[in-house]
Structure 1
Amino acid sequence: MTQSDISSPEKPGNGSRRTILVIEDDMTLNRLLCGQLSEMGHAVHGVASRADAMELLGGIAPDLALLDVRLPDSSGLSFLSELREYCPVIVLTAYASINQAVEAVKEGASEYLVKPVSPARLELAISRALETMALRRDLAFWQAEAQRAARHELIGDSAALAELRRMVGLLAASDSPVLIRGESGVGKGVIAAAIHAQGPRANGRFVTVDCDPEMMESELFGKVRNGQLIEGLLAAADHGTVFLNDIEKLSGTMQSRLLRLLEKGSYRPHGSNAEIYKDARVIVSTAADLDALVTQDRFRSQLYYKLSGFALVVPPLRDRREDILPLADSLLANRSFQRGVEKSFSADARDLLLHHDWPGNIRELANAVDRGVMLSAGEAVIEPDQLGLTHRKSATGDDATAVTLRFAAPPTLDDLRDAYIAELIERLDGNRQRIATVLGISERNLYRLLKPRA
């Protein structure tokens, strides 16, 4: 039997062999085990002590460890709980003991084998340990997916949301990249997940990547370390969808690499010259004005055109007020279940929720509901002062629409313009999209107005 015969739903490493760490102080047995495992097609590292194992773990990412019960600098069982944080562990012992076996299982050992171990028995134990770990990872993933789906339904009754649902259905049938635009907190990730869930890739994974410019390259594309390929999130999204959040944060280099992926379907892990092909749909989101970033040469125009062929704009919550109360009720039902208390909003609280301006959109709404659940403690009804919103008035109210500008001397037109824009910046929390909407101009023109005058 070779490594390719081992059945596993998830292939670690480079997909053709496993990396196995052997921790055995009997060097004759150590070499024998390493030889057997190498013949099975594995990449093997043998060490004789806990200290050597910890030093090696700083440079490799094993898929499995074989651990002797007795080590020169530690008890194997006392090392087991720490080692299993890195990978599954098979415990080896020369003296079978029921109590020892029970203790090993309690500490998280995948298998408990008595030496000497035949190659067939060892390979079977390795297969079972790796398959069990893969199943546990898959279970954790699908549990998280179920929780995410419960939290992120497209809830609401507005015409805008009905149009979004229609567009999601159309885009789900395609395999093209999608650009989702909208203010922070409007639920762009929810829309991306809905597109994935309604399409032919629904049985694949939906992997979210926050575009951190420092970690992005190795996190997304993977890397080669000590000759071993450590796969990135793109590999995890094979036959599924990868969702890149805040695409505007990508460096110029990463923008080029993403464009190559979209055009050719391939990429190179960091530190490798090997071309890897992956079948993953790409959905991206941004709260930024990409048009302005392209004009400023801060975002590659080729990538922008590639992404913007299929674009969705998610309107802010204040522009779809019919969705506020259904969303709040849904959020509350979930929080009430977690608290074990069935709660509801008072009539005044519902009125406050309905007329609040929601600059933070659904994220702010969720925080307000969380605050209301916490401050109402054991009470069944949440009151307005428990939501933390009373200090902020809706932009639809008379007080919010009145503008008063004061000057020490008669102002010029430029003074009036600058003062009015400054007032809008403060009132709308610096949200350039909303400021541009109030002024009736594009965000690009707003950017020019905000530039210091010579």
Structure 2
Amino acid sequence: MNTPIARTVLVVEDDRTLNHLICDQLEDLGYRPTGVRSRGEALELLTSFAPDAALLDVRLPDCDGLSFLPELREYCPVIVLTAFGSIDQAVNAVKNGASEYLVKPISGDGLEIALSKVFETAALRRDLEFWRAEAQRSKRVELIGECPGIVELRNMARLLAASDSPVLILGEGGTGKGVTASAIHAQSPRANGRFVAVECDPEMLESELFGKVRDGRLIEGLFAAADNGTIFLNDVDKLSGSLQGRLLGLLEQGSYRPHGSIAEIQASARIIAASAADLETAAQQGHFRPQLYYRLSGFTLHLPPLRERAGDLEMLAEFLLENRSFQRGVEKHFAPDALAALHAYDWPGNVRELANAVDRSVMMSVGQTEISAQHLGLGPRPVSEVHGSAVALRFADPPTLDQMRDSYIALLIDRFDGNRQRIAAALGISERNLYRIIKAQGLSG
């Protein structure tokens, strides 16, 4: 499954002899070429074929190659071929999106250099987009702690990192399943690839995971985005029955078909799945595909709840306090009564709830360096009280609208133990919209 696959190149050249010659050169260079002789043939092929690059002649029987260039560029990088090495054509080709420009006759060395540049540039662009996105993400909580369960978890994560087998992570909501998956990825040979985290829900579409063909163009899904990296499927039990079937097929065959396509795509992403549900019981009761459970559960990690990690509580709280992105360099510390409150609370929402409590404490202790117990808002709900279906939020000082919003969302996360279905129902919105709100507000922990 991890054997490197030769890159595919589409050759759009109307001269039959030259088309064959270029394809032979590409094969000698280790590529997998496919030749067509017109725009129409190219578009027909692209409904079921996703090339890594294309070579395009400027003169075709059914159109001008430069007019076809922007359309073809939507599918892949394009190298323009011409027998007329004019500067004007080169400028027009670049303006229309050409990645490179070659003049016939084409040498093997010239072709190899041009394709190498194209793929290197494409890789740099993907990396730039990836690191830009990473820069916007909140810092992930590491596998912090010295309790026996966390020490064993770190050791298992290190061992599993060397494998490409699927991993199933089980634990209550907020115990750090995403952090554990990220730690496995970061220690693996795939660390230079992307870690794509997917929040599964019943409304998720097949095309989101596996891509689709629309208007003759392949639109990649999340599995393609995780190419040679790791895809983390959180709440995998919430996938619809049909998507569970598609995922099982991928695990069994090592490939998948985008929606609306007849072409199989080799899967190169490692799968790590997670659930707060008892998947074994769900499989026995017919709520989750048994064969998918068996495929995913070959290596299973069980995360301990925070109430069983009393010795790690202070260490985790200090780590979270030091890494709050909105703290802006202000030195803060927990007062003795705050530490006592941390230990007295049972943390039904686990590390996620702890992270939210630390966030609130930083927000509520504005202008102070010491965080007290009242800033944490723990115990018998000193910050908020729930009376039947009515919710009353109480603050030491008049809050801003943003503080009210964040505190209410945090209250519901705590009240429903991170259960997005129940939280969304309370808010009257879909789970997907709730997830976006939580991410935007930085409340997911």
TM-score normalised per structure 2 = 0.59
The answer on whether the counterparts of 1:344 and 1:381 sit within 8 Å (CA) in structure 2 is yes
The answer on whether the counterparts of 2:256 and 2:267 sit within 8 Å (CA) in structure 1 is no
Identity across the alignment (%): 58
The answer on whether the counterparts of 1:333 and 1:342 sit within 8 Å (CA) in structure 2 is no
Aligned partner of 2:338 in structure 1 is 351
Superposed CA offset, 1:304-357 (max 9, x none): 122222111111112212222222222222227x54x54455554663552222
Select 1:204's aligned residue among 193, 199, 219: 193
The answer on whether the counterparts of 2:52 and 2:76 sit within 8 Å (CA) in structure 1 is yes
Superposed CA offset, 1:133-162 (max 9, x none): 641330342465578695232112222211
Aligned partner of 1:220 in structure 2 is 209
Q: Distance in 2 between matches of 1:309 and 1:166?
A: 17
Check if 1:381 corresponds to 2:369: yes
Q: Secondary structure at the match of 1:244?
A: strand
Superposed CA offset, 1:265-323 (max 9, x none): 43332312322222322110001122332233110111112222211111111221222
Check if 1:309 corresponds to 2:313: no
1:372 Cα offset (Å) = 2.5
Aligned partner of 1:136 in structure 2 is 125
RMSD: 6.0
Check if 1:173 corresponds to 2:162: yes
Check if 1:187 corresponds to 2:187: no
Q: Distance in 1 between matches of 2:128 and 2:359?
A: 28
The one-letter code of the counterpart of 1:373 is V
Q: How does 1:31-430 map to 2 (within 5 A)?
A: 132=121, 134-142=123-131, 144=133, 150-262=139-251, 264-270=252-258, 271-335=260-324, 339=327, 341-348=328-335, 351-352=338-339, 354-355=342-343, 356-377=345-366, 379-384=367-372, 387=375, 389-390=376-377, 429=415
The one-letter code of the counterpart of 2:349 is G
Residues 126, 274 of structure 1: alpha-carbon distance in 2 compared, 3 angstrom cutoff: closer
Residues 150, 297 of structure 1: alpha-carbon distance in 2 compared, 3 angstrom cutoff: same
1:187 Cα offset (Å) = 0.8
Q: Distance in 1 between matches of 2:418 and 2:361?
A: 30
1:254 Cα offset (Å) = 1.4
Q: Distance in 2 between matches of 1:334 and 1:85?
A: 41
1:361 Cα offset (Å) = 1.8
Q: Distance in 2 between matches of 1:163 and 1:371?
A: 31
The one-letter code of the counterpart of 1:351 is A
1:17 Cα offset (Å) = 7.2
Q: Distance in 2 between matches of 1:252 and 1:291?
A: 16
The answer on whether the counterparts of 1:187 and 1:362 sit within 8 Å (CA) in structure 2 is yes
Q: Secondary structure at the match of 1:373?
A: helix
Aligned length: 380
Residues 335, 303 of structure 1: alpha-carbon distance in 2 compared, 3 angstrom cutoff: same
Q: Distance in 2 between matches of 1:157 and 1:143?
A: 33
Superposed CA offset, 1:363-410 (max 9, x none): 222222222223333x351423663x43xx559xxxxxxxxxxxxxxx
Q: Distance in 2 between matches of 1:150 and 1:432?
A: 20
Superposed CA offset, 1:145-184 (max 9, x none): 5786952321122222112112212222332211101111
Q: Distance in 2 between matches of 1:224 and 1:85?
A: 12
The answer on whether the counterparts of 2:209 and 2:223 sit within 8 Å (CA) in structure 1 is yes
The answer on whether the counterparts of 1:239 and 1:279 sit within 8 Å (CA) in structure 2 is yes
Residues 300, 88 of structure 1: alpha-carbon distance in 2 compared, 3 angstrom cutoff: closer
TM-score normalised per structure 1 = 0.58
Q: Distance in 1 between matches of 2:332 and 2:253?
A: 50
The one-letter code of the counterpart of 1:229 is L
- Extract unaligned runs of 5+ from structure 1: 1-10, 20-39, 45-60, 65-83, 90-100, 102-107, 112-120, 396-425, 434-454
Q: Distance in 2 between matches of 1:278 and 1:225?
A: 21
Superposed CA offset, 1:199-246 (max 9, x none): 232233222122133334212212122333222221232332211111
Q: Distance in 2 between matches of 1:210 and 1:259?
A: 18
Greater Cα radius of gyration, structure 1 or 2: 1
The answer on whether the counterparts of 2:334 and 2:370 sit within 8 Å (CA) in structure 1 is no
